[in-house]
Amino acid sequence: MNRNEAKKVLEEQLQRFGGGSYLELFSQAMAQRVETYEVLGESGVRYQVEVQFLWDRQPGGTIRVMGSIDDQRFSSLVPLTDCLLMGPPESDVQK
């Protein structure tokens, strides 16, 4: 797996969710939603991306959007991961 390309793809995918509001992510975290899909990298490699919406510490608090990516080969055993945090509107935790 080209780790530089995979990291770029994962950052782009997480920003899809980080660009929204806390309220948009709230229902995802309440449902503990997990999204899994494929993304085609610039090199032509198909990456599998998994995004989980979790409460960071407690329900109603900061939301952790956790992403992982692999090329569906050996890297699937140790995927590359990253996350972003979004706090409630009254907090200072943003992305």
Residue range 27-84, pLDDT digits in tens = 999 999 999 999 999 999 999 999 999 999 899 999 999 999 999 887 668 899 999 9
The class of domain 3-86 in CATH terms is alpha beta
pLDDT of the residue at 91: 66
DSSP, residue by residue, the chain: --HHHHHHHHHHHHHHHHTS-HHHHHHHHHTT-EEEEEEE-TTS-EEEEEEEEEESSSTTS-EEEEEEEE-SSGGGGS-EEEEEEE--TTSS-B-
